[in-house]
Chain A
Amino acid sequence: MSDLDAFRAEIRAWLEENCPAEMREPVRDEGDVCWGGRNFQFKNEAQKTWMERCAAKGYTVPDWPKPYGGAGMSPAEAKIWREELARIGARPPLSSFGIWMLGPALLKFGTEEQKVHYLNQIARGEIRWCQGYSEPGSGSDLVSLQTFGEDKGDHWVVNGQKIWTSYADKADWIFCLVRTDKTNKYQGISFLLFDMTTPGVTTKPIKLISGNSPFCETFFDNVVVPKNQIVGELNRGWDVAKYLLGHEREMISGAGGGDRLNAIGAVVARNGLEDPILRADLAMFDVDALAYACMGEKFLDEAKVGRAHPAQPNMMKYAGTELNKRRHELLMSAGGATALEWESERTNGGSPSRSWLRTKANSIEGGTSEVMLNVVAKRILELPGA
């Protein structure tokens, strides 16, 4: 038995013993996702147990180093971990922007002290993070952001407004892009971390076409941020932001796995599938979805060993989000009038239609499809003047 086979056997045995049966059911809606954080209400005991058992072994962030709360798995081991989770249909023990976005940025740009402090909190699900990037006047053109941090010696005083701040009303801390030099566009932004309970921070949920409010407007009114809460160098926050955006795009692309990579024809057909043209569209979708799942696997394999093109997450994000939108268009068509129900119990409060509407943001948030295509054209294809 090779080392990896032994490792797989070990993981399999551990999961058998420690993954509660309730956590081996597919995630049905937002309420089934374990986000962690100071104010997080676990849906049930199993969700709490599952997160805590994983955190104790470093399995919430399997490939992070052990001193930072991870399990120190190699790329091959982390792949086995994902495969074994998928084999028993286990839910992710913990999902968070801390894991997907801030964590990788801290691992690359954080001080040792920051890594030990923040990463362990993330790994244990203690602190829930949100991301302060977009502003009302700075969407695709993010670098034009205006939120300003005035230097006051041992701290900054931050004033401004962010928008589309996902779950800002539920988050404990924010990682935030703040202008610290008004004379330099790219090299005048710093990457700051601060507590959402700091005086002067307010949030206001934005009601979306889905009727839900996953995004907020976030206002900063003379918010005091100590100087040790900067990641990377002063005025070089754009480097951190770009690096982190790569991880965000990777996350939105669904490359890490999850529902959006699945074929849907078989699920739809369970409720009957009488329309041959819809069936044909579903089959063509399934071809694309199953192929994209391979791309997700390939991309992760290559990224882990540094073989992926640095701009490849942009391609993944583009393809994955366009696919997910198509997926929900088909699910709506397949669901017929039932899928139109907005509040009924049998649709779990309009889950099909609300999910369908939610997916329309996929190709806007974290960089629009058009921006992704621009980046691919410029950085991968090296087309002129792009």
Chain B
Amino acid sequence: MPLYHTEDQAMLAETVTGFMADEGGIKKQLRHYRDINCQDGFGHALWKQFAEMGLTGMLAAEADGGLAMGHVEAGIVLREIGRNLTPSPFLTTSVMGVTALSGGSDELRGRWLPGVLSGGSVLAVAVDEGPKHRPERIACKAEKAGNGFRLQGRKAFVVQGASADAIIVAARTSGSDTDNDGITLFAVPKDAAGVTHENLRLVDSAMASNVTFDNVELDGDCVIGEVDGGRELLNKVIRAGRIGAAAELTGVGQGAFDITTAYLKTRKQFGQLIGEFQALQHRAAHLYSELEIAEAAVIKAQQLLDGNSEKADLMVSVAKAKAAKACNLSVREGVQMHGGVGMTDEYDIGLYMKRDRSLAEFMGDQYYHAERVAQLSGY
């Protein structure tokens, strides 16, 4: 398969790009919801529009009313979300959440998917338990209790967790903290007794929650997939999150790059456009090169994931690490090349820098993924 979009994918990209430029822009979404101190961290109206376009269920099966698309298509949407810094529950709900639900029973999907498809509900995913992404270690426990389970523990960095209608929780149902087996995924409803949120605003204005589960009673219907056998599904959800975040990062990096090169073409000092200075030209050209390479790694990983290739796991980590490195360079160079105005809230470039930080951390930073590349390569 060639490493560029098919005609259908290119058409989707055109539609989404135009729509997001009109509706998802920084002023209309990010700044607006930040400045009114919205505690959800995103706008429900835009989420409804996503649903009307079929985007919220694009990864869901056709039998479930979805579009049965893949990670390449989801990545197209995420790249535009990234480029516009749009606060959106798309990644946690439509990419990670729907991937999790696809491993669940008809009944479970029937309970949660219609809300996702209609844009009426959102999902969050709770994996990590500390400040760094360490899905290998899961201590949050769910013990058998009658016909169901009792959930006990804490989850950290649950993006949009407090506003989610259901939280997909990875919990330990047997074994010790670092065991590969013994993991079960649960869909925990918002109103379950014993769930408390420490709802926090992050540097990029997104809302994330540290969630405490204090003897939360869950009936057996909340289990997604197999009891004790959830690791594989969890890995699938995490991979979807990683490649999704990587796609979004390429959008953030590109967005920052575009406004920075535009600035180089308008700002004058010493009687000339600063874009005429070779010192800046070479740095911009190097940055272009890094962004192109990151984008190539991302589409390759997306295709491998969609084709269920055994190489996908390695390439997803390559893509996440590379996208994070390239995007980080883009926002740092962006602020520096903007000079003083790059430090002001009035200019958008600083917003890109903040978003980059958040996304780089989400589902593992470049160091985590480089380590993973080493391990998967056998060293």
Residue ranges of A at the interface with B (Cβ–Cβ < 8 Å): 75-76, 79, 263, 265-266, 268-269, 273, 279-280, 282-284, 286-288, 290-292, 294-295, 297-299, 301-302, 305, 307, 315, 318-319, 370, 372-374, 376-378, 380-386
Q: How far is the CB of B337 from chain A (nearest CB, A)?
A: 11
CB contact list, B356-374 vs A, under 8 A: 366, 369-371, 373-374
Question: Given the known A-B contacts A291-B319, A383-B264, are A315 and B289 also in contact in the complex, defined by CB atoms under 8 Å?
Answer: yes
B2 at the interface (CB under 8 A from A): yes
Given contacts A265-B374, A284-B370, A301-B3, contact A383 B293 (CB under 8 A): no
**CA A79 to CA B1, docked complex, whole Å:** 9
Which residue from B264, B297, B325 sits with its C-beta under 8 Å from A294? B297
Which A residue's beta carbon lies closest to that of B324? Answer: A287
Complex contacts, B286 vs chain A, CB 8 Å: 318, 373
Determine if B318 and A280 form an interchain contact, defined as CB atoms under 8 angstroms apart. Answer: no
Identify the closest chain A residue to B377 (Cβ): A266
CA of A230 to CA of B24, assembled, Å: 57
Instruction: Report the Cα distance A268→B378, complex, angstroms.
Output: 11
Q: List 5 A-B contacts (CB under 8 A).
A: A287-B318, A287-B373, A298-B296, A319-B289, A385-B272
Find out whether the CB atom of A297 lies under 8 angstroms from the CB atom of B276: no
Whether B379 pairs with A287 at a CB distance below 8 angstroms is: no
CA A380 – CA B300 in complex, angstroms?
Answer: 23
Q: How far is the CA of A75 from the CA of B318 in the complex (A)?
A: 27
Q: Which residues of B contact A291 (CB under 8 A)?
A: 293-294, 296-297, 318-319, 322
Residues of B within 8 A of A372 (CB): 285
Q: How far is the CA of A291 from the CA of B318 in the complex (A)?
A: 6
User: Is B300 a contact of A294 with CB atoms below 8 Å?
Assistant: yes
Proximity bits, B310-321, A CB within 8 Å = 1, else 0: 000011011101
CB pair B297 A290 closer than 8 Å: yes
Are A373's CB and B299's CB within 8 A?
A: no
With A319-B289, A373-B282, A383-B284 given, is the CB distance from A287 to B377 under 8 Å?
Answer: no
Residue numbers in B under 8 Å from A268 (CB-CB): 379
Q: For chain B, what secondary structure do more than half of its interface residues adopt (helix, strand, loop), or is it mixed?
A: helix
Residues on the B chain within 8 Å of A302, using CB: 2-4
B132 within 8 A of A: no
Among B4, B282, B315, the residue within 8 A (CB) of A377 is B282
Contacts A373-B282, A376-B288 given; does A297 touch B3 at CB 8 Å: yes
B282 touches A297 (CB 8 A): no
B8 → chain A, closest Cβ, in Å? 16
Q: Which residues of chain A are within 8 angstroms of B265 by Cβ–Cβ distance? A: 382-384
B235: chain A residues at CB < 8 Å are none
Q: What are the residues of chain B within 8 A of A284 when measuring CB–CB?
A: 321, 366, 370
- Given A268-B379, A302-B4, residue A288 in contact with residue B275 (CB < 8 A): no
A385 touching B325, Cβ below 8 Å: no
Whether B285 lies near A376 (C-beta < 8 A) is yes
Q: Does B374 lie within 8 Å of A290, measured CB to CB?
A: no
Q: Kindly state the separation between the CA atoms of A385 and B280 in the bound complex, as whole angstroms.
A: 12
Check B23 for interface membership: any CB of A closer than 8 A.
no
- Is B273 interfacial (CB 8 A cutoff)? yes
Query: Which single member of A266, A288, A298, A319 contacts B3 (CB below 8 Å)?
Result: A298
Given contacts A294-B293, A318-B289, A381-B285, contact A265 B300 (CB under 8 A): no
Q: How far is the CA of A265 from the CA of B378 in the complex (A)?
A: 8
Chain A's closest residue to B375 (CB) is A283
Partner of A383, one of B281, B290, B319, B325: B281
Nearest CB to that of B372 among chain A residues? A283
Does B261 have its Cβ within 8 Å of any Cβ on chain A?
Answer: yes
Answer yes or no: B292 CB below 8 A from chain A CBs: yes
Residue numbers in A under 8 Å from B282 (CB-CB): 370, 373-374, 377
| CA distance in complex: A75, B374 (Å) | 33
Q: Is B309 an interface residue (CB 8 A)?
A: no
Q: B244 → chain A, closest Cβ, in Å?
A: 17
Residue from B4, B264, B370 having most chain A Cβ neighbours under 10 A: B370
B269 at the interface (CB under 8 A from A): no
- A319 to B294 CA separation, bound complex (whole angstroms): 12
Bound Cα distance from A297 to B304, whole angstroms: 14
Q: State in angstroms the CA–CA spacing of A49 and B105 once bound together.
A: 59
Q: Give the shortest distance, in Å, between A7 (CB) and chain B (any CB).
A: 15
State A298–B285 Cα separation when bound (angstroms): 19
Q: Which of A282, A377, A385 has the most CB atoms of chain B within a 10 A radius of its CB? A: A377
Most chain A CB within 10 A, of B284, B285, B300, B322, is at: B285
Q: Is residue B278 within 8 Å, beta carbon to beta carbon, of the partner chain?
A: yes
A259 → chain B closest CB, angstroms: 16
Q: How far is the CB of B126 from chain A (nearest CB, A)?
A: 28
Interface residues of B in 319-362 (CB under 8 A from A): 319, 321-322, 325
Residues of A within 8 Å of B296, CB to CB, are: 291, 294-295, 297-299
